[in-house]
Amino acid sequence: MKINAVPSPDWALVASGHLWVAGVEPGLARFDAATGQRQGGLPIQNVCLAMDLGFGSLWAASCTHDRPTLSRVDVNSGRLRASVELPDGGPAEESSVGAGEGGVWVLSRGVPQHLIFVDPSSDKVLRSFQAPENAAAVRAGLGAVWVSTTNPGSLVRLEPGTGKVIATIPLGKGARFLALSSNAVWVMNQQDGTVSRVDPESNIVIATIKVSSSAIDGGDIAASDRAVWVRVSDVLAAKIDPQTNKVIDRLGPPAGSGSVAIAENSVWITAHDVASLWRVPQP
Protein backbone atom coordinates (compact mmCIF):
# COMPACT_ATOMS: atom_id res chain seq x y z
CA MET A 1 0.00 0.00 0.00
CA LYS A 2 1.23 3.47 -0.91
CA ILE A 3 -0.23 6.69 0.52
CA ASN A 4 0.49 10.20 -0.69
CA ALA A 5 1.12 12.44 2.32
CA VAL A 6 1.99 16.13 2.26
CA PRO A 7 4.00 18.12 2.68
CA SER A 8 7.00 16.12 3.98
CA PRO A 9 6.44 12.82 5.84
CA ASP A 10 9.39 12.02 8.05
CA TRP A 11 9.61 10.51 11.56
CA ALA A 12 7.16 7.65 12.09
CA LEU A 13 6.06 5.66 15.13
CA VAL A 14 3.34 3.07 15.79
CA ALA A 15 1.45 3.19 19.10
CA SER A 16 -1.73 1.37 20.16
CA GLY A 17 -2.68 0.52 16.60
CA HIS A 18 -2.05 4.02 15.27
CA LEU A 19 0.69 5.27 12.98
CA TRP A 20 1.96 8.75 13.77
CA VAL A 21 3.92 10.61 11.08
CA ALA A 22 5.64 13.96 11.54
CA GLY A 23 5.67 16.48 8.70
CA VAL A 24 2.19 15.61 7.46
CA GLU A 25 -0.75 18.01 7.77
CA PRO A 26 -1.76 19.19 10.35
CA GLY A 27 1.81 18.67 11.65
CA LEU A 28 1.79 15.27 13.37
CA ALA A 29 -0.70 13.10 11.48
CA ARG A 30 -2.39 9.93 12.74
CA PHE A 31 -3.34 6.92 10.62
CA ASP A 32 -4.84 3.51 11.32
CA ALA A 33 -1.74 1.30 11.34
CA ALA A 34 -3.65 -1.66 9.86
CA THR A 35 -5.55 0.10 7.06
CA GLY A 36 -3.75 3.40 6.46
CA GLN A 37 -6.97 5.37 6.98
CA ARG A 38 -6.40 8.95 8.14
CA GLN A 39 -7.52 9.60 11.71
CA GLY A 40 -6.67 13.27 12.11
CA GLY A 41 -3.67 14.42 14.06
CA LEU A 42 -2.26 17.31 16.04
CA PRO A 43 -0.79 20.70 15.00
CA ILE A 44 2.66 19.86 16.34
CA GLN A 45 5.19 21.42 13.96
CA ASN A 46 8.91 21.00 13.28
CA VAL A 47 9.31 17.55 14.84
CA CYS A 48 13.03 17.25 14.20
CA LEU A 49 14.06 13.96 15.80
CA ALA A 50 12.92 10.38 16.15
CA MET A 51 9.95 9.98 18.51
CA ASP A 52 9.55 7.40 21.28
CA LEU A 53 6.93 5.64 23.40
CA GLY A 54 6.79 5.44 27.16
CA PHE A 55 4.60 6.06 30.19
CA GLY A 56 1.43 5.60 28.12
CA SER A 57 2.45 8.39 25.78
CA LEU A 58 4.11 9.30 22.54
CA TRP A 59 6.89 11.88 22.93
CA ALA A 60 7.78 14.23 20.08
CA ALA A 61 10.33 17.06 20.23
CA SER A 62 9.98 20.20 18.13
CA CYS A 63 12.88 22.39 17.01
CA THR A 64 10.79 25.56 16.90
CA HIS A 65 13.40 28.26 17.54
CA ASP A 66 11.30 30.59 19.64
CA ARG A 67 9.83 27.80 21.81
CA PRO A 68 11.48 24.37 21.52
CA THR A 69 9.22 21.83 23.19
CA LEU A 70 8.67 18.19 24.02
CA SER A 71 5.06 17.21 23.31
CA ARG A 72 3.36 14.40 25.23
CA VAL A 73 0.51 12.69 23.37
CA ASP A 74 -1.87 10.15 24.90
CA VAL A 75 -1.54 7.00 22.76
CA ASN A 76 -5.17 5.95 23.24
CA SER A 77 -7.10 9.20 22.86
CA GLY A 78 -4.63 10.91 20.53
CA ARG A 79 -4.86 14.09 22.61
CA LEU A 80 -2.04 16.36 23.64
CA ARG A 81 -1.40 15.89 27.36
CA ALA A 82 1.49 18.27 27.94
CA SER A 83 3.95 20.57 26.23
CA VAL A 84 7.29 20.85 28.00
CA GLU A 85 9.64 23.73 27.19
CA LEU A 86 13.20 22.51 26.61
CA PRO A 87 16.29 24.44 27.80
CA ASP A 88 19.80 24.76 26.32
CA GLY A 89 18.60 25.92 22.91
CA GLY A 90 16.19 23.06 22.47
CA PRO A 91 16.80 19.55 21.13
CA ALA A 92 19.68 18.53 18.90
CA GLU A 93 18.40 17.92 15.37
CA GLU A 94 18.78 14.54 13.64
CA SER A 95 18.64 12.91 17.06
CA SER A 96 16.01 11.05 19.07
CA VAL A 97 13.92 11.02 22.22
CA GLY A 98 14.51 8.24 24.73
CA ALA A 99 11.57 7.30 26.97
CA GLY A 100 12.32 4.87 29.78
CA GLU A 101 14.35 4.20 32.92
CA GLY A 102 12.24 6.59 34.97
CA GLY A 103 12.10 9.52 32.59
CA VAL A 104 12.21 10.99 29.11
CA TRP A 105 15.64 11.94 27.76
CA VAL A 106 16.57 14.51 25.11
CA LEU A 107 19.98 15.71 23.93
CA SER A 108 20.34 19.48 23.82
CA ARG A 109 21.87 21.47 20.98
CA GLY A 110 23.76 23.81 23.31
CA VAL A 111 27.53 23.83 23.82
CA PRO A 112 28.44 21.85 25.80
CA GLN A 113 25.64 19.41 25.07
CA HIS A 114 23.46 18.18 27.92
CA LEU A 115 21.24 15.17 28.38
CA ILE A 116 17.94 16.62 29.60
CA PHE A 117 15.73 14.59 31.96
CA VAL A 118 11.96 15.18 31.87
CA ASP A 119 9.94 13.72 34.74
CA PRO A 120 6.80 12.00 33.34
CA SER A 121 5.01 12.42 36.68
CA SER A 122 5.17 16.22 36.60
CA ASP A 123 5.97 16.85 32.91
CA LYS A 124 8.83 19.11 33.98
CA VAL A 125 12.55 19.24 33.30
CA LEU A 126 14.09 18.17 36.62
CA ARG A 127 17.79 17.92 35.83
CA SER A 128 20.39 17.44 33.15
CA PHE A 129 23.78 15.76 32.80
CA GLN A 130 26.66 16.71 30.56
CA ALA A 131 26.40 14.55 27.46
CA PRO A 132 29.25 12.54 25.94
CA GLU A 133 31.29 14.44 23.36
CA ASN A 134 29.76 14.39 19.86
CA ALA A 135 26.54 12.86 21.23
CA ALA A 136 24.07 12.07 18.45
CA ALA A 137 21.00 10.18 19.66
CA VAL A 138 19.55 8.58 22.80
CA ARG A 139 17.30 5.70 23.84
CA ALA A 140 16.48 4.37 27.31
CA GLY A 141 15.82 0.83 28.47
CA LEU A 142 17.50 -2.46 29.37
CA GLY A 143 18.67 -0.87 32.59
CA ALA A 144 20.49 2.09 31.07
CA VAL A 145 20.42 5.28 29.06
CA TRP A 146 22.21 4.72 25.75
CA VAL A 147 23.83 7.56 23.81
CA SER A 148 25.47 7.19 20.41
CA THR A 149 28.41 9.37 19.40
CA THR A 150 29.43 10.11 15.83
CA ASN A 151 33.16 10.69 16.17
CA PRO A 152 34.54 8.34 17.15
CA GLY A 153 31.58 6.09 16.54
CA SER A 154 30.57 4.65 19.88
CA LEU A 155 27.72 3.72 22.18
CA VAL A 156 27.94 5.15 25.69
CA ARG A 157 26.06 3.43 28.49
CA LEU A 158 24.96 5.77 31.28
CA GLU A 159 23.56 5.07 34.74
CA PRO A 160 20.09 6.69 34.69
CA GLY A 161 20.17 8.08 38.22
CA THR A 162 23.52 9.83 38.06
CA GLY A 163 24.51 10.12 34.41
CA LYS A 164 27.72 8.23 35.21
CA VAL A 165 29.40 6.50 32.26
CA ILE A 166 29.28 2.74 32.80
CA ALA A 167 30.76 1.66 29.46
CA THR A 168 31.90 3.10 26.14
CA ILE A 169 31.52 0.61 23.29
CA PRO A 170 33.38 1.24 19.99
CA LEU A 171 31.15 1.12 16.90
CA GLY A 172 31.37 2.06 13.21
CA LYS A 173 31.84 5.49 11.70
CA GLY A 174 29.03 7.98 12.11
CA ALA A 175 27.06 6.05 14.73
CA ARG A 176 23.72 7.78 15.23
CA PHE A 177 20.19 6.36 15.35
CA LEU A 178 19.52 3.44 17.69
CA ALA A 179 16.70 1.15 18.74
CA LEU A 180 16.14 -1.40 21.49
CA SER A 181 14.72 -4.90 21.31
CA SER A 182 14.21 -7.04 24.40
CA ASN A 183 17.82 -8.27 24.41
CA ALA A 184 19.90 -5.95 22.25
CA VAL A 185 20.78 -2.38 21.34
CA TRP A 186 20.88 -1.81 17.58
CA VAL A 187 22.86 1.18 16.27
CA MET A 188 22.99 2.49 12.72
CA ASN A 189 26.45 3.62 11.58
CA GLN A 190 25.69 6.17 8.87
CA GLN A 191 29.13 6.51 7.27
CA ASP A 192 29.80 2.76 7.24
CA GLY A 193 26.35 1.72 6.02
CA THR A 194 26.27 -0.84 8.83
CA VAL A 195 24.30 -1.74 11.94
CA SER A 196 25.99 -2.79 15.18
CA ARG A 197 24.25 -5.20 17.55
CA VAL A 198 25.29 -4.64 21.17
CA ASP A 199 24.69 -7.14 23.97
CA PRO A 200 23.51 -5.15 27.03
CA GLU A 201 24.70 -7.85 29.42
CA SER A 202 28.35 -7.76 28.32
CA ASN A 203 28.45 -4.31 26.65
CA ILE A 204 30.10 -5.95 23.63
CA VAL A 205 29.31 -5.71 19.89
CA ILE A 206 28.26 -9.21 18.89
CA ALA A 207 27.52 -8.48 15.22
CA THR A 208 28.20 -5.81 12.60
CA ILE A 209 25.81 -6.07 9.67
CA LYS A 210 26.21 -4.39 6.28
CA VAL A 211 22.84 -2.87 5.35
CA SER A 212 23.75 -0.36 2.61
CA SER A 213 26.18 -0.30 -0.30
CA SER A 214 26.89 3.36 0.45
CA ALA A 215 26.86 5.80 3.36
CA ILE A 216 23.36 6.40 4.74
CA ASP A 217 21.99 9.91 4.27
CA GLY A 218 19.73 10.44 7.27
CA GLY A 219 17.89 7.19 7.80
CA ASP A 220 16.28 5.54 10.81
CA ILE A 221 16.11 2.19 12.59
CA ALA A 222 13.31 0.27 14.34
CA ALA A 223 13.69 -3.00 16.23
CA SER A 224 11.54 -5.82 17.54
CA ASP A 225 12.40 -9.36 18.55
CA ARG A 226 11.14 -10.57 15.15
CA ALA A 227 12.92 -8.12 12.86
CA VAL A 228 15.08 -5.02 12.69
CA TRP A 229 14.29 -2.55 9.90
CA VAL A 230 16.75 0.08 8.72
CA ARG A 231 15.84 3.06 6.52
CA VAL A 232 18.76 3.38 4.10
CA SER A 233 19.75 5.34 1.00
CA ASP A 234 20.49 2.77 -1.72
CA VAL A 235 17.02 1.18 -1.31
CA LEU A 236 13.98 2.06 0.80
CA ALA A 237 14.77 -0.24 3.71
CA ALA A 238 16.71 -3.32 4.74
CA LYS A 239 15.35 -6.05 7.03
CA ILE A 240 17.62 -7.87 9.49
CA ASP A 241 16.75 -11.23 11.00
CA PRO A 242 17.84 -10.99 14.68
CA GLN A 243 18.15 -14.78 14.86
CA THR A 244 20.93 -14.84 12.26
CA ASN A 245 22.10 -11.20 12.29
CA LYS A 246 21.82 -11.13 8.50
CA VAL A 247 19.91 -8.98 6.02
CA ILE A 248 17.05 -11.10 4.67
CA ASP A 249 15.14 -8.53 2.60
CA ARG A 250 15.75 -5.23 0.82
CA LEU A 251 12.86 -3.11 -0.40
CA GLY A 252 13.31 -0.69 -3.28
CA PRO A 253 13.80 1.32 -5.33
CA PRO A 254 15.40 4.15 -3.31
CA ALA A 255 13.33 7.25 -2.55
CA GLY A 256 15.55 9.65 -0.64
CA SER A 257 15.46 9.72 3.14
CA GLY A 258 12.77 9.07 5.71
CA SER A 259 11.80 6.88 8.64
CA VAL A 260 10.63 3.35 9.46
CA ALA A 261 8.17 2.04 12.06
CA ILE A 262 7.15 -1.49 12.98
CA ALA A 263 3.46 -2.35 13.42
CA GLU A 264 1.87 -5.64 14.52
CA ASN A 265 1.75 -7.25 11.08
CA SER A 266 3.49 -4.71 8.90
CA VAL A 267 6.23 -2.14 8.60
CA TRP A 268 5.66 1.48 7.61
CA ILE A 269 8.24 3.43 5.60
CA THR A 270 8.22 7.17 4.94
CA ALA A 271 9.97 9.21 2.24
CA HIS A 272 9.83 12.98 2.64
CA ASP A 273 11.49 13.63 -0.75
CA VAL A 274 8.52 12.11 -2.59
CA ALA A 275 5.77 12.82 0.02
CA SER A 276 4.90 9.13 0.38
CA LEU A 277 4.19 6.41 2.94
CA TRP A 278 4.31 2.68 2.30
CA ARG A 279 2.77 -0.13 4.32
CA VAL A 280 4.54 -3.47 3.78
CA PRO A 281 2.94 -6.61 5.29
CA GLN A 282 5.25 -8.84 7.30
CA PRO A 283 4.49 -12.15 9.02
Per residue in 122-147, pLDDT (tens digit) is 999 999 999 999 999 999 999 999 99
pLDDT for 169 beyond 90: yes
Domain parsing of the chain, residue ranges: 145-252
Q: Global pTM?
A: 0.97
Percent of the chain with pLDDT over 90: 96
Question: What digits encode the pLDDT tens for the residues 153-162?
Answer: 999 999 999 9
Question: What digits encode the pLDDT tens for the residues 78-112?
Answer: 999 999 999 988 999 999 999 999 999 999 998 89
Residue 192: what pLDDT?
A: 95
Greater model confidence, 110 or 185 = 185
Residues 170-177, mean pLDDT to the nearest whole number: 97
| Mean pLDDT computed over every residue of the chain | 96
pLDDT for 66 beyond 90: no
Question: What digits encode the pLDDT tens for the residues 222-280?
Answer: 999 999 999 999 999 999 999 999 999 999 899 999 999 999 999 999 999 999 999 99
CATH number, domain 145-252:
2.130.10.10
Residue 282: what pLDDT?
A: 87
CA distance linking residue 229 with residue 212, whole number of Å: 12
Sorting pLDDT into bands at 50, 70 and 90, what band is 163? very high
CA-based nearest residue to 49, from 108, 124, 118, 123: 108
